[in-house]
Amino acid sequence: MYNQPAKVTDLQSGTHERLWSLMSSGLGSYVLAVILIAMPLLIGGSWIFALGVCFANSIGVLAVSVLVRYGGEVSIGHAFFAAVGAYSVAILDTRYGLSILLSVPLALLLGVISGVAFAWPSRKLSGIYLAVSTMALALAVPELINNADALTGGYEGLYVSRPLIPGVPMSYQRYYVALVVLIAAVYALSRFRQSRQGLAILLAKTHPAAADAFGTRQVWARIAIMGISGGIAALCGSMLAFAGSTVSPSGYTLWSSIFLLVGSVVSFYGLTLPRALIGGAFLTLVPQFLSASGAWIPVFYGLALLGMILLGHYLPRLKAMIADRKEAR
């Protein structure tokens, strides 16, 4: 008589686990994508703008996270690659009248080339040495932009105004284009994780000797992943230019690179849509929520960052404790 409730409990527990596994495997991302597609019907113009910028920052979070996950390295200079993408779009829009349909693929290509060009001379650096070398990129960005003011607009920057689809309000275009590029980046990374090339690069990170035996040298794997990361960061910059409508040197400083790294940490280096949005929201929406706090903004932002890090550290332990208690029952 007492076995039946136990069977029912086990059945319910198994059902919950299957549902959780289903949500974790991708259904949650699909539901979230549908919600975000319908979101402009429910919110005002200022929030549409903020979410568009949030999507762009989420792409930058992905760029840093993929470098950590596949390369095992940390970058504090990804604002350089973002600036490459942003100014590619802005210059082609302002100077040559090209829409993002043509400028974004070029920005992606230039980002990949820039990543490979940086990775080749620094291919034997790792750890803190590589991080400091990427910092040099971030420090150089504002000066490079200002010294090429005839092309980049210098301190004043450039304004991105050319629509992708004439006649459609620009607020919706800035929102949906950034969202589509974010979803495309997440999908591409999910396919990359399942590909032979992705597995080879991951093997080069975790087991270099085994990777060498299969013909994948660690040096080439690191160059490849830096190129991929640089390309995604350039997509971030191109979407920041389009969703934010302007580009200027102040948007691509060392602090911009540091905040992208912070967003990656907050997202726990995840490469899924929910994780990327967590990092992007922490960079974009949290400061907006704290805007009324005045001088206390840095304090509250620091506390929020500390809380997220502690949550990521202790949440797996709490889940394990809860699972152990359920098994004990």
Model pTM score: 0.85
Residue 7, pLDDT > 80, answer no
For residues 187 and 56, give the distance between their C-alpha atoms in angstroms, rounded to a whole number. 15
pLDDT tens track for 243-292: 998 999 988 989 899 999 999 988 888 889 999 999 999 999 888 888 77
Annotated domain spans of the chain = 28-289
Place of tokens 């949005």: 277
Which of 311 and 153 is assigned the larger pLDDT?
Answer: 153
For residues 267 and 311, give the distance between their C-alpha atoms in angstroms, rounded to a whole number. 11
Name the residue among 15, 23, 32, 112 with its Cα closest to residue 276: 32
pLDDT tens track for 8-56: 333 334 444 444 444 444 677 888 888 999 988 888 778 899 999 999 9
Strands 158-159, 246-247: pairing kind: antiparallel
Which backbone phi and psi does 276 adopt, to 5 degrees?
-60, -40
When pLDDT is cut at 50, 70 and 90, the band that residue 123 belongs to is confident
For residues 177 and 239, give the distance between their C-alpha atoms in angstroms, rounded to a whole number. 8
CA dist 20 to 14, 62, 73, 293, Å? 10, 23, 31, 37
For residues 321 and 295, give the distance between their C-alpha atoms in angstroms, rounded to a whole number. 40
Residue 180, pLDDT > 70, answer yes
Torsion of CA 8, 14, 17, 18, to 10 degrees: -120
| Lookup: tokens for 30 | 């699909």
Query: Which of these ranges, 1-5, 304-308, 324-328, has the smallest mean pLDDT?
Result: 1-5
When pLDDT is cut at 50, 70 and 90, the band that residue 216 belongs to is low
Helix (H, G, I), strand (E, B) or coil at 166: coil
For residues 250 and 108, give the distance between their C-alpha atoms in angstroms, rounded to a whole number. 22
The predicted pLDDT at position 17 comes to: 43
CA dist 154 to 34, 87, 158, 194, Å? 40, 11, 8, 43
Mean pLDDT of the chain: 83
State the fold for domain 28-289.
Answer: ABC transporter involved in vitamin B12 uptake, BtuC (1.10.3470)
Helix (H, G, I), strand (E, B) or coil at 159: strand
Residue type, 120: W
For residues 119 and 133, give the distance between their C-alpha atoms in angstroms, rounded to a whole number. 10
E-only strand ranges, the chain: 158-159, 246-247
For residues 266 and 275, give the distance between their C-alpha atoms in angstroms, rounded to a whole number. 9
Place of tokens 């000797």: 209
Name the residue among 52, 42, 53 with its Cα closest to residue 172: 52
SS3 letters across 16-52: HHHHHHHHHHHHHHHHHHHHHHHHHHCCCHHHHHHHH
For residues 134 and 203, give the distance between their C-alpha atoms in angstroms, rounded to a whole number. 24
CA dist 51 to 48, 136, 158, 321, Å? 5, 30, 21, 36
